[in-house]
A and B are shown apart, each in its own frame.
Chain A
């Protein structure tokens, strides 16, 4: 519907668009500048001196940022793999079958997406004490499943709802074993869902703060914890550098999956968690 679009309307759109662009990148700019600043005092609009000091510190062995980076990647990968292994079967059950109590099961799985982590993590903490899981990487990975798993299930049930199981029957009737059927027929068909769901589950785990803080008890220091500590202790330059590193996986995943982010796919729902 584009009858009679005046210059006024067009320039209004252009201006609001420009405003939106500025507003969207604005908070990231001081972070980037800080990471290259060598002291940046009020009221200077830009740092008086530039330096790579923050970046050198960040990548040095003593800072522990690199260790923390690998730890965070490891935790997020583990949480993602577990979510895929557990989430794919559950997604199949919810996407392909109708059964009594399905709505209730969906509600159970949906609940952790909406109920904030703080509401459950305190209780988990007091149980994990007795199980020896507090302050361990295992405990942190387990607790990360609370936000990542429901999300993976949601994505996979959407994939399986559009999946025709007749392909599997066809493969079986052509002589494929159940394992081969899964490997050659089912897996290729659901692979796009697993990849997109997995990448976003990774991001959800990557962005967890309070769950890691409580269950990790300060011993499991992931990147966001490090970032928070530097931010609240006034080391703005190092905060800037870590912040830049911290947003990289998201940008990378975005470039890989931009077309899946249309909002029409259930995948976007997970971004409420990041």
Chain B
């Protein structure tokens, strides 16, 4: 169990003017599974390589249980990194790949064989030890890469986009496997991804990094319910933003007065709400019901996306197809934005 602390970690590549990573600070509790989330090129993989000792930070520190590891060579850090494309050594058998780390530590042959067999069983790939990596499916290669990392019992495990190369049905299987192994072995685990769904599904906590800086570090559901700002909300699929003024639990904008869940914030702000939380109304009986014009609709099988105009705002709503049957573009309708689903962003 290792507590990982990242302090003002910064990386400026030689010749670059902008830092690839700008003063990232993060506390990761022992045994926790944390996601570094951000668009490609935001410095996630750079962060991982610096934690693993494969890249030297320009400034800042990385400590494990309070001790700086920056001067430890990568092979002595107790960190193993699993790359996105698995990078199984192509000329070695699966068993040799998995046993690689132990061989480097000069563990004796019989012991390596024993532990390789055990770990291959844990990742549910018994009997594949003699195959070559090229003979495995993507999902199997991913498990071998995971087994190869776990066999050396690292203090910290780093995973680069662990689910992104997998088909939808394999993702859930792999997610369960990673979670169960991680919990069982209690390894502090950090993974990076550009896919918010992957982060939410797998992580205990998510750190969102945009433009080389950390935006928000929170539990997955907080990013949907309580995004810190508009760019964070947008990253998680937020579409609906209305500028206005908040006072005493009431939000005034071009849409008129809307109720807020509480009285805590006052002043200028932006109101946001998830498309899936908007309801079609038949009358004004519910609070926060406003006029809208349906401009377009998109049938997606299990849901229907509606494009609406509320005053001068373009809003998106996601509804159950049955609820919106018969509505046609151009039609004027009523929508309710329940007070308990709105979230106020103040600058």
Contact = CB atoms under 8 A, between A and B. Distances in A.
Interface of A: 1-5
Nearest to A4: B56
Interface in B57-88: 71, 73-74
Contacts of B74: 3
B220 interface: no
Contacts of A1: 54-55
A5 B74 CA distance: 13
Contacts of A5: 56
A4 B76 CA distance: 14
Contacts, number: 14
B275 interface: no
Interface of B: 53-56, 71, 73-74
A154 to B, nearest CB: 25
For the residues of B in contact with A, the DSSP-based class is loop
Contacts of B54: 1, 3
A3 B49 CA distance: 10
Contact of A2 (B56, B71, B73): B56
Nearest to B54: A1
A9 to B, nearest CB: 13
A214 B113 CA distance: 62
Closest 9 CB pairs of A and B: A3-B56, A3-B53, A1-B54, A3-B54, A4-B56, A3-B55, A2-B56, A3-B74, A2-B55
Contacts of B53: 3
Nearest to A1: B54
Contacts of A4: 56, 71, 73
A2 to B, nearest CB: 6
B55 to A, nearest CB: 6
A4 B54 CA distance: 9
A3 B74 CA distance: 8
A5 B54 CA distance: 11
Contacts of B56: 2-5
Nearest to A5: B56
A147 to B, nearest CB: 33
14 contacts: A1-B54, A1-B55, A2-B55, A2-B56, A3-B53, A3-B54, A3-B55, A3-B56, A3-B73, A3-B74, A4-B56, A4-B71, A4-B73, A5-B56
A152 B336 CA distance: 73
A124 to B, nearest CB: 42
A191 B42 CA distance: 40
A2 B57 CA distance: 10
A1 B54 CA distance: 5
A1 B53 CA distance: 9
A2 B13 CA distance: 11
Nearest to B53: A3
A88 B56 CA distance: 50
A3 B53 CA distance: 6
Given A2-B55, A5-B56, 8 more contacts: A1-B54, A2-B56, A3-B53, A3-B55, A3-B56, A3-B73, A3-B74, A4-B73
A186 to B, nearest CB: 35
Nearest to B74: A3
Contacts of B55: 1-3
Nearest to B56: A3
Contacts of B73: 3-4
A4 B74 CA distance: 10
B234 to A, nearest CB: 35
Max chain B C-beta neighbours (<10 A), residue from A1, A2, A3, A4: A3
A4 to B, nearest CB: 6
B53 to A, nearest CB: 5
Nearest to B14: A2
Contacts of A3: 53-56, 73-74
B259 to A, nearest CB: 55
A5 B56 CA distance: 9
Nearest to B55: A3
A4 B55 CA distance: 8
A4 B71 CA distance: 8
A145 B55 CA distance: 51
A204 B43 CA distance: 48
A2 B52 CA distance: 12
A5 B73 CA distance: 11
A3 B71 CA distance: 9
A259 to B, nearest CB: 21
A5 to B, nearest CB: 8
A215 to B, nearest CB: 45
Nearest to B57: A3
A147 B173 CA distance: 57
A65 to B, nearest CB: 49
Contacts of A2: 55-56
A2 B55 CA distance: 6
A121 B55 CA distance: 56
Contacts of B71: 4
A274 B73 CA distance: 45
B272 to A, nearest CB: 42
A177 to B, nearest CB: 45
B19 to A, nearest CB: 17
